[in-house]
């Protein structure tokens, strides 16, 4: 990888009117996802302001930023769970309600009810079917087992979710996201709350996905190792898009170097988001 000169995001931000220091994807590349001038307000408080970027087919994008930056809120808008105050998200040209079927989503780990009795096989089939499976058909089992095999979780398929480690749980949720053969994966801090060994395995898995040209991903993470292994492009978000470019261009910017602190904090606080 070429050694990139340090990028001063604040100087570049002024130069680019606050939007895109770094190299965005070519404008004519086919897009799997597009965010157009999205603003989200809760009451009078703007949590996201005028967010615009796009993700080409097959690109692995890391979305970084401090706690409270609006990252999870932006993902909710992409998934059609939250309507923006203004602006729009397009998934292959469709609104999130229709385009949602093209997305595989791995939510933040703290979003699950860990006491709910369920097996990995049921968790994966439920996403395939859209409802909880009382009986699993052979064709559903085949697809679910293929997804669990892909994430190294096949041997766990009959276990109880509550007995799985953090890393095993995330493998199951990655299989759940992949089983519908999405064009874009959205992952919200998948390594948070996972022990160091489990974390390395998840990063290996994501790096494999990153190398696959058919699937795009948007990964929210504080984990610098995950970014360095997986990211083609990076967005640094803090209410607005502060930087958008290649990881090789932005890795030395002060904002992204500060993520190092976030990563150590993540290691120290196993349940941090």
Ligand X SMILES: Nc1ncnc2c1ncn2[C@@H]1O[C@H](COP(=O)(O)OP(=O)(O)O)[C@@H](O)[C@H]1O
Give contact residues for ligand X (rule: CB under 6 A).
42, 47, 65, 67-73
Our CB check for ligand X shows the closer of 76 and 141 to be 76
Task: Specify the residue, 47 or 88, whose C-beta has the smaller distance to ligand X.
Answer: 47
Q: Which of 9, 32, 58, 72 binds Mg ion (CB under 5 A)?
A: 72
Nearer to ligand X (CB atom), residue 57 or residue 272: 272
Among Mg ion, ligand X, none, what binds residue 29 when CB lies within 5 to 8 Å by partner kind?
A: none
Instruction: State the virtual CA torsion across 200, 58, 53, 219 in degrees, nearest 10.
Output: -20
Query: Which CB, 65 or 182, lies closer to ligand X?
Result: 65
Beta carbon of residue 83, minimum distance to ligand X (angstroms, whole number): 12
Tell me how far, at minimum, the Cβ of 67 lies from Mg ion, in Å: 7
Residue 243 phi/psi, 5-degree rounding, is -155, 145
For the chain, what is the radius of gyration of the CA atoms? Answer: 18
167 binds, among ligand X, Mg ion, none (CB under 5 to 8 A by kind): none
- Give the separation between CA 78 and CA 47, rounded to whole angstroms: 15
Work out how close the CB of 120 gets to Mg ion at its nearest, in angstroms, rounded to a whole number: 25
Q: Single out the segment in contact with Mg ion by CB under 5 A; choices: 72-80, 90-98, 112-120, 164-172.
A: 72-80
Q: Which is nearer to Mg ion, 75 or 224 (CB)?
A: 75
| DSSP H stretches of helix in the chain | 9-15, 71-78, 96-99, 120-129, 138-150, 166-178, 196-211, 224-230, 247-250, 254-257, 259-268
* Interstrand relation of 216-220 and 184-188 (parallel, antiparallel or unpaired): parallel
User: Residue 65's binding partner, choosing from ligand X, Mg ion, none, with beta-carbon cut-off 5 to 8 A by kind?
Assistant: ligand X
CB-side neighbour CA atoms (13 Å) of 197 = 2
- C-alpha distances out from residue 252 to 208, 222, 224, Å: 25, 15, 12
**Interaction site with Mg ion (CB under 5 A):** 71-72
């Amino acid at each position: 990888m070429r050694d990139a000169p340090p990028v001063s995001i604040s100087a570049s931000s002024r130069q680019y009117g606050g939007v895109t220091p770094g190299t965005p994807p070519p404008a004519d590349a086919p897009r799997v996802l597009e965010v157009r001038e999205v603003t989200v307000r809760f009451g009078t408080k703007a949590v996201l302001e005028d967010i615009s970027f796009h993700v080409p087919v097959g690109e692995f994008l890391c979305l970084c930023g401090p706690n409270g930056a609006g990252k999870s809120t932006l993902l909710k808008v992409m998934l059609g769970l939250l309507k923006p105050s203004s602006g729009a998200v397009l998934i292959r040209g469709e609104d999130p309600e229709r385009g949602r079927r093209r997305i595989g989503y791995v939510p933040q780990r703290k979003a699950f009810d860990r006491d709910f009795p369920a097996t990995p096989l049921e968790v994966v089939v439920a996403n395939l079917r859209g409802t909880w499976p009382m009986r699993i058909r052979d064709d559903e089992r085949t697809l679910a087992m293929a997804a669990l095999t892909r994430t190294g979780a096949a041997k766990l398929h009959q276990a109880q979710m509550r007995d799985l480690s953090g890393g095993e749980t995330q493998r199951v949720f990655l299989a759940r996201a992949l089983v519908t053969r999405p064009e874009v994966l959205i992952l919200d801090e998948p390594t948070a709350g996972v022990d160091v060994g489990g974390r390395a395995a998840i990063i290996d898995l994501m790096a494999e996905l990153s190398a696959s040209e058919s699937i795009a991903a948007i990964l929210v993470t504080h984990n610098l190792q995950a970014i360095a292994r997986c990211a083609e492009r990076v967005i640094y978000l803090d209410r607005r898009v502060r930087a958008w470019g290649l990881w090789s261009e932005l890795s030395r910017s002060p904002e992204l170097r500060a993520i190092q602190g976030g990563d150590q904090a993540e290691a120290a606080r196993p349940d941090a988001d």
